[in-house]
Amino acid sequence: MAFGQEIDLKQLVQMNCSFGPQEIAKINRCIASKYANFRIFRDAVNELESREDEQSPAGMVRLGVFLYLLGKYRRSLNVLQHGDGGALAHFYMAKAQFALKNYDEAEKEYVCARQAGYCADDCILGVVEVKRTAGKVQEALDLLNDLSGSVQQTAEYLYQRGITALASGGTSDEVGNWFSRAVDTDPMHPGALFGLAMENDRRGNDDEALELYKRAAAQFPSHVGSLINLGLMYEDRDENQLAVQCYERVLDAYPENEHARLYLKDAQASNLTTEDVVPHNPTTQILRTPVADFELSARARNCLTAMGIQTLGDLCSYSEAELLSSKNFGETSLDEIKQMLSSRNLQLGQTSVKSQQQELPEVDSSIDIETLNKPISSMEFSVRARKCMSRSGIMTLGDLIRKTADELLQYKNFGVTSLTEVRQKLEAYGLHLHGE
């Protein structure tokens, strides 16, 4: 029977046979070739885990590795610690500790794995990744410089070169060259594909970036950054169902990922059936719909009535701040109202009357001009937030702080997640949006 069919994958997980990097690579390729195999793999691992008490020390290592591949890092670490103490166990304990951001422990486990006989080059490259992520970029670079021989031709080495060059402020051409060489060496290396996709994304090569994100996202274990950025690119193209699939794949493997959960909610809200779709510029008929037609709590309905708000058009002319300033209107009622409007692709404030010739709000004169002129493109915003602001003509911090939260939320694909991100970035500079 050809490898990749259901019985082969299940047997590979559950059979008590030799197990090492080659078998792990087979599992990864099997799932990458057909994502439906992920669920087969997950079910087989769950069945194996239910028999944990029957496992030998070597069996515990197998189970621990499988749990790591499923993104269950804490559980994986616990199981591996009850394994046979061999090279494979230490190597995957290192990877689990790294995923949990326990960098000192991860480095120690890589050292133990090397001492136990795991491939020395793989262990050193693992330490490089740990040091770079922990902010010890020069130490990571020194380790890479000390490596020689055939390892310098591997995709992992070339990828680590590229990502370390990026962290140390290397030029875009230098970084892109390392990633390109890594992909040429291994066209399925998820990290290198993601890095090359990001470089093309930064340069505005959207079509090439999209194809690279697709290739990276097809690999296993899932590359979270690739899946999320691919989802965002799909949303930019109004292919919301494909975006939903990307975010669902992240949550399949990493159910605690809050970014994916928020992005999924946004994409699902946009993924309406044809008869439910509301144009971005709402029609007069929709805006004339009485608020009383919608199921709202008694408190929210009474507050709207007291404010003289009778239709969706009336409601959309108010900002969040204006609603919250009304007596008895709190955050709970606001969330309820926003959810109701979102289901019709409407937003608070989008029909408010504003002069098209309105002067830009003044900014605090104490803010130095260099800060105001800082380009948005240099601030490492997420793909979604950066593209939304770019399309809306927001190029510098000065442009950004002249905008209110309501104005930002009116931009297509700019949701609460992006607004939170903007506020956090501004806070780091002691800045805030206009009116806050």
Q: What angle do CA 70, 72, 75 make, to 5 degrees?
A: 135
Integer CA distances (angstroms), 394 to 30, 236, 343, 385, in order: 44, 17, 28, 11
pLDDT band at 351 (very low <50, low <70, confident <90, very high): low
Looking at residue 364, its pLDDT comes to 61
Q: What does the alpha-carbon distance between residue 216 and residue 349 come to, in Å, rounded to a whole number?
A: 39
* Domains within the chain, CATH numbers bracketed: 1-118 (1.25.40.10), 284-342 (1.10.150.20), 369-428 (1.10.150.20)
Residues 6 or more apart whose Cβ sits within 8 Å of residue 326 = 303, 306, 307
Please list the residues that pair with 22 across neighbouring strands.
none
The residue with tokens 């919250």 is: 324
Q: What does the alpha-carbon distance between residue 124 and residue 114 come to, in Å, rounded to a whole number?
A: 8
Looking at residue 354, its pLDDT comes to 44
- Count Cα neighbours of 431 within 13 Å in the Cβ-side half-sphere: 25
Looking at residue 274, its pLDDT comes to 34
Looking at residue 133, its pLDDT comes to 92
Q: What does the alpha-carbon distance between residue 233 and residue 386 come to, in Å, rounded to a whole number?
A: 12
Distance from the Cα of residue 305 to its chain's centroid: 41
Rg (CA), the chain: 26
Largest CA distance in the chain: 77
Contact 132, 140 (CB under 8 A): yes
Q: Is the pLDDT of residue 169 over 90?
A: no
What backbone phi and psi angles, to 5 degrees, belong to 311? Answer: -125, 170
Percent of the chain at pLDDT > 70 equals: 88
Q: Is the pLDDT of residue 58 over 50?
A: yes
Q: What does the alpha-carbon distance between residue 383 and residue 194 come to, in Å, rounded to a whole number?
A: 13
Helix or strand or coil: residue 3? strand
Q: What does the alpha-carbon distance between residue 235 and residue 242 come to, in Å, rounded to a whole number?
A: 8
Contact 392, 411 (CB under 8 A): yes
Integer CA distances (angstroms), 333 to 146, 300, 337, in order: 61, 5, 6
Looking at residue 318, its pLDDT comes to 82
Report which DSSP code applies to 360.
Answer: P
Looking at residue 183, its pLDDT comes to 97
Q: Is the pLDDT of residue 421 over 50?
A: yes
pLDDT band at 407 (very low <50, low <70, confident <90, very high): confident
Integer CA distances (angstroms), 20 to 13, 233, 432, in order: 12, 37, 52
> CB count, 10 Å around CB of 390?
14
Helix or strand or coil: residue 147? coil
What backbone phi and psi angles, to 5 degrees, belong to 381? Answer: -70, 160
Specify the amino acid at residue 272: L
Of 352, 348, 332, 331, residue with least CA distance to 291: 348
pLDDT band at 153 (very low <50, low <70, confident <90, very high): very high
pLDDT band at 101 (very low <50, low <70, confident <90, very high): very high
Per-chain mean pLDDT for the chain: 84
Residue-wise over 280-312: b if at least 16 C-beta within 10 A, else e? eebeeebbebebeebebeeebbebbeebebebb
3-state secondary structure 147-204: CCHHHHHCHHHHHHHHHHHHHCCCCHHHHHHHHHHHHHHCCCCHHHHHHHHHHHHHCC
> For 146-155, what is the mean pLDDT?
97
Q: How many residues does the chain have?
A: 436
Of 294, 407, 419, residue with least CA distance to 352: 407
Q: Among 113-122, 174-183, 337-346, which stretch is predicted with the lowest mean pLDDT?
A: 337-346
Q: Among 247-261, 285-299, 301-315, which stretch is predicted with the lowest mean pLDDT?
A: 285-299
Q: Among 2-11, 61-70, 71-80, 269-278, which stretch is predicted with the lowest mean pLDDT?
A: 269-278
Q: What does the alpha-carbon distance between residue 206 and residue 369 come to, in Å, rounded to a whole number?
A: 32
Q: Is the pLDDT of residue 93 over 60?
A: yes
- CA dihedral over 263, 225, 377, 258, signed as positive or negative: positive
